[in-house]
């Protein structure tokens, strides 16, 4: 009886560990206006680990800077490429009308080879580095609230504000715009204005 119980327990635990044998670690942040204009904005970025099942799919929901973000990954069938969709779900009052999200982003993760310490987050022996395909080094995704305020202050349409999805390199421009809007009392320090990815991701076994 005891052997049967142990066998059953092992079966459950072993299969669970086999299903989630790999994980993808990525650097993600939710940014409010105060984060962006402060010199300590890097503190808003955190490493998020997404467990992957045997088919390369994974999903997590995490709290970053007090807000809820969900991340979905799935692996392409004939390539070492992952589709990555990220959704900022809160603040609820800032959701786009008729939806359950404040901002949404999508990119692809492409295998860039073996990871070395310092190449990415959470690097363990045998890890692989995955870079962002559409915007190298990550992206900044503007919330509907920030886009609306940019438009009302005639800042929309001026480079780089022609899309709600920007390359990470435009983060400084976003910070400058947010600082101007704060000074004009168009935003408050606690307003959630963006979420972002940075650098690359690491897949560990």
Mean pLDDT of 103-112: 95
Token pair 């409010």 is found at 32
Range list of β-strands (E), the chain: 22-32, 45-52, 58-64, 67-75, 81-88, 103-114, 128-132, 139-142, 165-167, 192-204
Instruction: Please tell me the distance from the alpha carbon of residue 31 to that of residue 40, in angstroms, as a whole number.
Output: 11
Is residue 4 situated within a structural domain? no
In a domain, 5, yes or no: no
Q: Tell me the per-residue pLDDT of 109-147, one tens digit each, with 9 for 90 and over.
A: 999 999 988 778 889 999 999 999 999 999 999 999 999
Task: Evaluate whether 86 touches 70 at the Cβ level (below 8 Å).
Answer: yes
Q: Is residue 7 part of a domain?
A: no
Give the domain extent around 182.
Answer: 22-204
Q: Which two tokens stand for residue 189?
A: 């320090």
* Residue 189 domain-assigned (yes or no): yes
pTM equals: 0.85
Residue 121 domain-assigned? yes
Q: For residue 38, tell me if it sits in a domain.
A: yes
Number of domains in the chain: 1
Give the mean pLDDT of 35-52: 86
């Amino acid at each position: 009886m005891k052997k049967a119980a142990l066998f059953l327990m092992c079966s459950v635990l072993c299969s669970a560990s086999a299903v989630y044998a790999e994980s993808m670690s990525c650097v993600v942040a939710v940014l409010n206006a105060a984060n962006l204009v402060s010199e300590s904005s890097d503190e808003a970025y955190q490493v998020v680990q997404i467990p992957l099942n045997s088919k390369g799919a994974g999903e997590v929901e995490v709290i970053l800077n007090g807000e809820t973000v969900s991340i979905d990954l799935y692996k392409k069938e004939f390539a070492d490429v992952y589709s990555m969709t990220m959704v900022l779900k809160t603040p609820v009052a800032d959701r786009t009308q008729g939806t359950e999200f404040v901002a949404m982003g999508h990119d692809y993760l492409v295998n860039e080879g073996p990871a070395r310490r310092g190449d990415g987050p959470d690097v363990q022996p045998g890890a692989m580095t995955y870079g962002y395909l559409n915007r190298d080094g990550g992206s900044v995704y503007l919330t509907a609230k920030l886009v609306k305020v940019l438009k009302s202050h005639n800042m929309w349409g001026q480079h780089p504000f022609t899309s709600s999805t920007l390359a990470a390199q435009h983060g400084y421009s976003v910070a400058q715009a947010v600082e101007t809007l704060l000074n004009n009392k168009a935003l408050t320090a606690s307003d959630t204005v963006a979420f972002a990815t940075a650098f690359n991701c690491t897949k560990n076994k």
